[in-house]
Structure 1
């Protein structure tokens, strides 16, 4: 997350108070590194604190931290915070060698460490200060961080700090037994109809129009059960699921061109498209400009139209349609409630969006839940491998493209 340019940092409490808002949760057992552009905060990185074997020689770990932070090409400094209760109450502390290694590696790369802190459940203190008059043991109360001016400003802007991903952050919405039964029944009916139309250009075009119209506005209300069922059924077709993700980030043209490139259309599939009327389905004919009889999808390699791989890795477009991705995340949240293969598809989509936002911990949590719903779900497996290897989404690695929880002019 990038901080709003109107946030004012007055001291360490403000910086430490911003971190949970940046991550979405209060970290534990974590190293948090933040880049600096002069006196301005840049990007935020969270990593698990290393174990004893790595701490005995932390140079490789420090090099990894540098590799991530160098994605912020304008960074000229760094701040570090160790969120842990272990081994820091009495100097030099368990992690002093790690901090020294980071100071050396980052300093040599032109990102000197300006400050570093230890933060526990009850106390926090400067990692380098040993003067009892200004840094008495065990430290200052963590409540000073929670009461900081910047924390209050973030709350005023609508930000909240939730549970950590591993503690079950963002559980699926709760449904009544009646709604759950209805959704699953409708879903099977829609799935049976859609399965016969997997090769239909008209059905694909109609579906893209429906999803695009839905995502044009951030959903402010719960979707009717029949719409939820239809959308869940559409995600059970892998090619359509991928097209929805690509369309949300890069537009309908990219989704259509990629579908044509992968050869998903069958000229012999002439069944009329189907869909709920409330989603804008046009029963009198195919969707104009998308799935109509005269529609010819753009061919591969057309300048300005990125491929599926480039979009899913965050390499293209230069800046994704974050408003639409935010809307998609909200819709997918509603589609996870009934689990199953469709729930796994929705959770995988949410995991991909979290990864695009640079929130690897949330991405891993969503993808893990997807594999619990549908063991062996291939896209979730592939995405989880990327996350566990520490690969950054291309958009998250570029300042001009990175997701912002709040727009710069938020007030």
Structure 2
């Protein structure tokens, strides 16, 4: 997401103050690398700092960093920040060899490292400055970063720095025992009705229509308990869960075309569709195997790879499920709907159970699409804590752990953005 105007970076404190806003949290024991396009900041990458064995020969680690940053094909420079309390006040310092290797590898790839810093909990300093008059060994106060003009402007614009993904991704919802019991009871009633309509094309259309309405109108508000119950019940059906993800990113035609192509509809369904009564909607409530998303992530889906696209009945070419789930199509996803879906999934995950795991997995996928691997791993890990063996979460987590980058995150013009600063 772009702000209405560019932000201006005036000092190292501004750059270092920008990093926690870019990541969403203050990193620890991390290398943060940022690409540059001339004087403009580009992509932000965070990796765990390597252990002693890798620090003894950091060339492979440096190649990994280079490979990630190479996705920003227009980058001509880089900035490095090592967030740690260990060993950086020493001379030459625990991480000097790592910085040297990164500078050599990135420089050889056309991304000259223009500055590098060490940042601890209390102090920070330039990684190369040895003049004790301006760069004391213990560094300058981190408070100068927190008080920087850019940090103040980001806070003014509504940006916040939260806890790390490991500590702060599980929703803390003020849900009373009575409300929880009511939602779960309503969910069970909806699930019983929806289970008999899994093959209904009309029910599928009503369900996507409701989801689209929620993403358009209600994502920023607390949903009524009956809507929460129905949406959670719909996520328990893997084919419908997959369709919701595809619809949010690529639109209803892609979700419908994929469902038709994969044969989830049964002809002659006699049951009328059900769903909560909402303004503008007349519907009232009265074996899945491997899902399409799971097959796509595992590399077995007809919508991914060589069998790429689906032809709709109207003759319009739309992306297949595999392409959407891997971030290959559409060229630029509907980030507004994906942002709304993330907010809705946060509400739905608060009640736990199988639908909660589905909602956490959806949030993990959205985080991966945004290029936020730490958050993706945290959401997916929580889904597996709640429902061990939840297949889509397992497959997505494997992608994240391999360092696979979502297709959208790898392209500057398609990538999700909270803001886009300029450097003066």
- 2:289 match: none
The answer (yes or no) to whether the contact 2:31–2:48 under 8 Å persists in 1 is yes
| Runs of 4+ that moved beyond 3 A | 1-5, 297-304, 406-409
Structure 2 residue 397 is the aligned partner of structure 1 residue 371 = no
Structure 2 residue 321 is the aligned partner of structure 1 residue 308 = yes
The answer (yes or no) to whether the contact 2:8–2:421 under 8 Å persists in 1 is no
Alpha-carbon shift at residue 261 of structure 1 (Å): 1.2
- 1:150 match: 150
The answer (yes or no) to whether the contact 1:315–1:394 under 8 Å persists in 2 is yes
- Structure 1's unaligned 5+ residue stretches are 286-296
Q: State which of 330, 333, 347 in structure 1 corresponds to 2:346.
A: 333
Root-mean-square deviation (Å) = 2.0
Alpha-carbon shift at residue 300 of structure 1 (Å): 8.9
Alpha-carbon shift at residue 169 of structure 1 (Å): 3.2
The verdict on how the C-alpha distance between 1:224 and 1:138 changes in structure 2, with shifts beyond 3 A counting, is same
The answer (yes or no) to whether the contact 1:172–1:333 under 8 Å persists in 2 is no
Distance 1:396 1:381 in 2: 21
Alignment of 1:30-45 (within 5 A): 30-45=30-45
TM-score normalised according to structure 1 size: 0.93
Describe the superposition over 1:208-256 as per-residue Cα deviations: whole angstroms up to 9, x where unpaired: 1111111113523211111100000000000000000000000000000
Alpha-carbon shift at residue 204 of structure 1 (Å): 0.3
Distance 2:170 2:26 in 1: 15
- 1:159 match: 159
The verdict on how the C-alpha distance between 1:60 and 1:407 changes in structure 2, with shifts beyond 3 A counting, is closer
- Structure 2's unaligned 5+ residue stretches are 286-309
- 2:363 match: 350
Distance 1:171 1:399 in 2: 30
- 2:418 match: 405
The answer (yes or no) to whether the contact 1:218–1:326 under 8 Å persists in 2 is no
The answer (yes or no) to whether the contact 1:174–1:337 under 8 Å persists in 2 is no
The answer (yes or no) to whether the contact 1:217–1:327 under 8 Å persists in 2 is no
- 2:395 match: 382
TM-score normalised according to structure 2 size: 0.90
- 1:86 match: 86
The verdict on how the C-alpha distance between 1:56 and 1:48 changes in structure 2, with shifts beyond 3 A counting, is same
Alpha-carbon shift at residue 88 of structure 1 (Å): 0.5
Distance 2:368 2:242 in 1: 15
Structure 2 residue matching 1:386: 3-state secondary structure: helix
Alpha-carbon shift at residue 25 of structure 1 (Å): 0.1
Alpha-carbon shift at residue 284 of structure 1 (Å): 8.6
